[in-house]
Amino acid sequence: MTATQDWLEYAAKDFEVARPPQWRKIARPEQLAPDGIWLTWAYVAGRGAGKTRSAAEWVHEKAMLNPGVRIALVGRTPADVRDVMIEGESGIIAIAHGDAPNYQSTKRRLTWPNGSTAHTYSAEVPSQLRGPQHHFAWCDEPAAWTDAPKGDALDTAWNNLVLGLRLGQSPQCVFTTTPKPNALIRTILGRRSTVVTRGSTYDNLGNLAPSFREEVLATYEGTRIGRQELLGELLDDVEGALWTIGLLDEDRVTAPPDMRRIVVAIDPSGGSGPNNDEQGIIVAGLGIDGALYVLADRSCSLSPHGWASRAVGAYREFNADRIIAEKNYGGDMVESTIRQVDTNVPVKVITASRGKVQRAEPVAALYEQHRVHHVGAMPKLEDQMTTWTPQDGTSPDRLDALVWAVTELTDNFQAQAWIEYMRRHAEAQQVTPVEPQEQTEPAVEDPATVQQRARDAAFRAARR
């Protein structure tokens, strides 16, 4: 044995003796790697439960105790790996203190003094993981990886990672995530070689920054989706529901593009009072990219003056074009109530000519075509969307308001998509486009051909 090897073994033993009291003293049992033989340890828990910290500690311990090992760090995006897993508050550098590895971001590599290394990978680029071999791996928030709906199919980030996890006697991977009902999570949790520990946001409340704690609890407490986001439960899709959480998650965005039109839709069916429903108030827009964006859920349970003020407030805040409301439930009353708050707001009162199911199904179809995006999370609305089935009879107010908003925005959708298509086409040809008149139907050609082209253009625009 060389002097260097001697020293490294001594250092590892020293770490083993010195380190455990630090983390092991404060870690909760579910935050420590289980005993026994396993390939994957999945720590499945709510937001802020301490997932990242647990895995960062595990990675650091593996690196320190096994000189020269090679570790893979895989996050949703390059920024997630860098800002959360490596340099984040609970990341490797913060928890390693005096033993922190050297981080060379340009080489996507961390190097410990004992020669252990960790290499960073983005799940957005699965090919990065095709080839490299590792002793250990950490996957943070794999439920949110782009290719998670594909499960462990060939050439996904997960599949490539596992194929390269083949160095040493017992390669292992830690998997830290808030669950989502997608194929990857179901596959991993269903494997015999996976051990699972579970935790909730509430377990770690005392260690969370007050702002995070308040925001996450205010958003999710009391909702079905909160069982996933706070308690870390894997929710089953509701049979017959027109939407699934997976579908909503897939197209969710953090910020919308510029909007061409914005509407505030109200379903005030319940009126006020403790035994009545809430009033659905949804803000949605048509983006310049041709896709639809659900911008906010401002539903409430207030007096007529209260909900009208809220709707007018949303109209002003989002600089909307108009407020729309259904006539069937006292249309005149809705309009006059809004007018009492602001006489100048444009209000469009609509009459339902079709039943709720007939109105909701085309909206659900637009979601399936990935043309509708939610901006951020709207758990109460999304609970209604993912649990309501056409057999339920009446539909909940938030969902009704959403359906009105999307239907209103799609009224001129095809003509606008066609105009957009022609504009892009002209730009591509580098000719000056003739400025089309907003919302006019193309005059010539067979209408079926034009509609098909508009549908294709809208679909392409929405996918871009």
Ligand X SMILES: Nc1ncnc2c1ncn2[C@@H]1O[C@H](COP(=O)(O)OP(=O)(O)OP(=O)(O)O)[C@@H](O)[C@H]1O
Query: What residues line the site for Mg ion (CB under 5 A)?
Result: 51-52
C-beta closer to Mg ion: residue 23 or 413: 23
C-beta closer to ligand X: residue 25 or 192: 25
What's the half-sphere exposure (Cβ side, CA atoms, 13 Å) at 204? 29
Nearest CA among 124, 130, 131, 96 for reference residue 112: 96
C-beta closer to Mg ion: residue 60 or 70: 60
Q: Measured from the CB of residue 88, what is the shortest distance to Mg ion in angstroms?
A: 8
Q: 456 is written with which tokens? A: 């294709």
Residues in contact with ligand X, counted by CB under 6 A, come to a total of 17
Q: Measured from the CB of residue 52, what is the shortest distance to Mg ion in angstroms?
A: 3
28 touches, from Mg ion, ligand X, none (C-beta below 5 to 8 Å by class): ligand X
Owner of token pair 């909940």:
396
Q: Measured from the CB of residue 182, what is the shortest distance to ligand X in angstroms?
A: 17
Residue nearest to Mg ion (CB): 52
Distance CA 148, CA 180 (A): 9
Distance CA 199, CA 54 (A): 12
**Does the protein bind ligand X through residue 49 (CB under 6 A)?**
yes
Amino acid at 108: R
Which parts of 160-189 interact with ligand X (CB under 6 A)? 178
Distance CA 420, CA 288 (A): 9
40 touches, from Mg ion, ligand X, none (C-beta below 5 to 8 Å by class): none
**Does the protein bind ligand X through residue 50 (CB under 6 A)?**
yes
Among 127, 207, 394, 452, binds ligand X (CB under 6 A): 207
**Does the protein bind ligand X through residue 48 (CB under 6 A)?**
yes
117 touches, from Mg ion, ligand X, none (C-beta below 5 to 8 Å by class): none
User: Cα dihedral angle (45, 48, 53, 54), rounded to 10 degrees?
Assistant: -20
Point out which span in 34-42, 44-52, 188-196, 247-255 binds ligand X (CB under 6 A): 44-52
Return all residues near 345 (Cβ < 8 A) that are at least 6 apart: 312, 315, 322, 323, 338, 339
Q: 364 is written with which tokens? A: 């659900």
Point out which span in 1-9, 204-212, 367-375, 409-417 binds ligand X (CB under 6 A): 204-212
**Does the protein bind ligand X through residue 101 (CB under 6 A)?**
no
Nearest CA among 150, 168, 167 for reference residue 159: 150
Q: Measured from the CB of residue 117, what is the shortest distance to Mg ion in angstroms?
A: 22
C-beta closer to Mg ion: residue 249 or 277: 249
Burial class (CB in 10 A: 0-12, 13-18, 19+), 173: buried
Q: 383 is written with which tokens? A: 């609970």
Q: Measured from the CB of residue 373, what is the shortest distance to ligand X in angstroms?
A: 22
| Contact between 76 and 144 (Cβ < 8 Å) | yes
C-beta closer to ligand X: residue 86 or 286: 86
Q: Measured from the CB of residue 59, what is the shortest distance to ligand X in angstroms?
A: 13
Among 4, 16, 20, 26, binds ligand X (CB under 6 A): 26
Distance CA 243, CA 52 (A): 30
Q: Measured from the CB of residue 31, what is the shortest distance to ligand X in angstroms?
A: 6
DSSP characters for 15-82?
HHHHSHHHHHHH--GGGSPPSS--SEEEEEE-TTSSHHHHHHHHHHHHHHHSTT-EEEEEESSHHHII
**Does the protein bind ligand X through residue 142 (CB under 6 A)?**
no
89 touches, from ligand X, Mg ion, none (C-beta below 5 to 8 Å by class): ligand X
H helix runs in 251-355, sequence order: 304-317, 331-341
Distance CA 250, CA 297 (A): 19
C-beta closer to ligand X: residue 114 or 122: 122
Point out which span in 49-57, 150-158, 334-342, 428-436 binds ligand X (CB under 6 A): 49-57
40-45 β-sheet, strand order: 102-104, 109-111, 117-122, 70-75, 136-140, 172-177, 40-45, 194-199
C-beta closer to Mg ion: residue 51 or 380: 51
Find the radius of gyration of the CA atoms of the chain: 27
Q: Measured from the CB of residue 140, what is the shortest distance to ligand X in angstroms?
A: 8
> What is the contact mask toward ligand X in residues 51 to 90, using x (rule: CB under 6 A)?
xxx-----------------------------------xx
Q: Measured from the CB of residue 65, what is the shortest distance to ligand X in angstroms?
A: 20
C-beta closer to ligand X: residue 50 or 226: 50
The contact set with ligand X (CB under 6 A) reads 26-28, 31, 47-53, 89-90, 178, 204, 207-208
